[in-house]
Amino acid sequence: MTKTEIFDQIKKMIVEQLDVDADKITMTTNFTEDLALDSLDVFEVIDKIEDEYDIEIETDDALATVGDLVDYVATHQETSED
């Protein structure tokens, strides 16, 4: 799966889970600064992504932007498919 496909899926999840305007979500969108999400909101999105991609996301990792999350999923999805 390409990063673009992962981004599209994550964007869709964020919109559905948190009722955020899809136009606000880009790779550089910051969860707290741009979307005003609190840690519980971010946790809900991460939980949904973990279920969708069958990976475990370490919340200690610096995942401040949508792009950070896309990169994380892309990297860990590759290793889980090996």
Give the residue numbers marked as catalytic: 38
Could you identify the residue written with the tokens 């990792």?
61
CA-based R_g, the chain, Å: 12
- What is the number of other CB atoms lying within 10 angstroms of the CB of residue 41? 17
Q: Which residue has the tokens 């999105």?
A: 45
